[in-house]
Structure 1
């Protein structure tokens, strides 16, 4: 696609098509690639700057991926990079991100967001809730739960703010680090109705559980079946195809009709 706004992020190569050559127009693909160039929320949480530079770096790699049997550019549209380097507050970031993604979510598209701090969980959940007209659920694969106190917006309390404002209902954290969660956040996870977590150490170190059972706690199979039926109704794939031709059913948790392995942590 000539003269596109992302052409500076990839290098075309004669005789082959790359993801950057094949992106669909906005509104014609189920997924929207979207960057948020900010790290104000991270710095407000006492973290290191740098997340603002990640969208360009990630998209330079992503858009150079070759299209083939497994990668189709028509699945993705370009939503651009929202430059918030000079935002004056995290509340300003929240408003800008919410305004950017809401039209896509109302149209049934899923933004794939790169960059910014986890403070952006709040505006994303806000937009998803507004688009759906109800509270939504969230699955977070993260050593940190980001449910700190409502002490002013930063990257460590996006989910607690989203819950307090009615955007977030059920919430699950998989891979929570036992060495990276404070006592107040852990108590909030344990005491909030509909919230669940599984620590990284419990399944990957001590072998007390499996990834599959952790996923079942976070996203019950009955709910996954409903989700998959809805996705089929929208003509979106509800299975993942591996290079060897094997398909993973997202609803039942099986591979080619066979149960998934549970003999490994």
Structure 2
């Protein structure tokens, strides 16, 4: 994994604040030792970060998702280790090195077609790094929990997992957007369409699609692929007194979970969450946590990706990092 910065105990100490008579998550969680192989560790779950927002910029979006990884670690490492949080069941591997791509993107200003194309080329470079790392983790029989970064990284997740398993994999995407846009330059809005085109993606289900963000062209494209692409609208999936929600959950489960699948969670789908496309309308954090807890325990779930969180857009300090930390605990605690 040449594109990975492996974390050491010293790296985690920067995020952890020890306290007398307490054991913090960052003090108890496992790390990969020198010479140790992933296939030999007892932990099932491997946490890895992708500190970039190049794909978001390439999709006319606001930068900021690059900060989600550090925000997650600041909160997660200071949560309590106990018999209920199970830090020993997680290995923190490190972060995918996107520094060169981020530095190059920072020098590009504007949204001209030339700049967007150049940003897309940087995203393609990140794709290579992400797919290599994810393929290595899945090939070792482990389940990566991936903290993005933009949703462009869905492509690398799907490619890496597909190559590790030797077949296309299904995907369940909790999102207000389809991210099934045309095959133009690579960006955060076409990760799934590229994965579909290159046969890394099998069945694809979008849970909570907002009609306001789905153009007629996008809906036509989704409907043209209805044998392998399905979706449910947000109005049918929110919890509050909605009898349709369970039907949509059952439909997603039946369409996706019978074979290997990835679980994608776009924090844009949570109302008022600091994210690249923050919205006043959406699911609650608790609704999303319920969704993650339910689907991540399926034996066919091969990875969990939490993306598009942007701490610099949050209304209250530390809420993005704390939310991501909750999601990680929800996954490892089943």
Tell me if structure 2 keeps the 8 A contact 1:147–1:158.
yes
1:194 pairs with 2:200: no
- C-alpha spacing 1:164/1:10, structure 2 compared with 1 (3 Å): same
Q: 1:211 corresponds to which residue?
A: 245
Q: CA deviation at 1:133?
A: 0.5
1:183 pairs with 2:216: yes
Q: 1:82 corresponds to which residue?
A: 96
Partner Cα separation in structure 2 for residue 133 and residue 200 of structure 1: 34
TM-score (norm 2): 0.64
**Highest CA radius of gyration, 1 or 2?**
1
- Residue by residue over 1:93-140, the C-alpha shift from the partner in whole angstroms, topping out at 9 and shown as x without a partner, is 101111222211101111111121100000000000011110000000
1:166 pairs with 2:199: yes
- C-alpha spacing 1:20/1:201, structure 2 compared with 1 (3 Å): same
1:93 pairs with 2:99: no
- Superposed, 1:229-244 pairs within 5 Å as none
Partner Cα separation in structure 2 for residue 143 and residue 22 of structure 1: 36
Within the candidate set 59, 69, 75, 1:45 is matched to 59
TM-score (norm 1): 0.79
Tell me if structure 1 keeps the 8 A contact 2:203–2:256.
no
Within the candidate set 155, 163, 167, 1:134 is matched to 167
Within the candidate set 33, 37, 43, 2:47 is matched to 33
Q: Structure 1: which 4+ aligned runs deviate by more than 3 Å?
A: 205-209, 221-224, 247-251
1:109 pairs with 2:123: no
Provide structure 1 residue ranges, at least 5 long, that are not aligned to the other structure: 228-246, 252-265
Q: CA deviation at 1:153?
A: 0.3
Q: 2:156 corresponds to which residue?
A: 123
Q: CA deviation at 1:77?
A: 0.6
Tell me if structure 2 keeps the 8 A contact 1:148–1:184.
no
Q: 2:85 corresponds to which residue?
A: 71
Of 198-207 and 80-89, the range deviating more from structure 2: 198-207
Partner Cα separation in structure 2 for residue 3 and residue 141 of structure 1: 33
SS in 1 for 2:152: helix
- C-alpha spacing 1:50/1:9, structure 2 compared with 1 (3 Å): same
Q: CA deviation at 1:84?
A: 1.2
Partner Cα separation in structure 1 for residue 9 and residue 54 of structure 2: 32
Number of residue pairs the alignment of both structures matches: 230
Partner Cα separation in structure 1 for residue 174 and residue 149 of structure 2: 16
SS in 2 for 1:130: helix
Q: CA deviation at 1:220?
A: 1.2
Q: CA RMSD in A?
A: 2.5
The structure whose residues are more often helix, as a share, is: 2
Provide structure 2 residue ranges, at least 5 long, that are not aligned to the other structure: 1-7, 33-37, 105-121, 261-292, 299-334
Q: CA deviation at 1:7?
A: 1.6
- C-alpha spacing 1:9/1:174, structure 2 compared with 1 (3 Å): same
Tell me if structure 2 keeps the 8 A contact 1:39–1:85.
no
1:10 pairs with 2:12: no
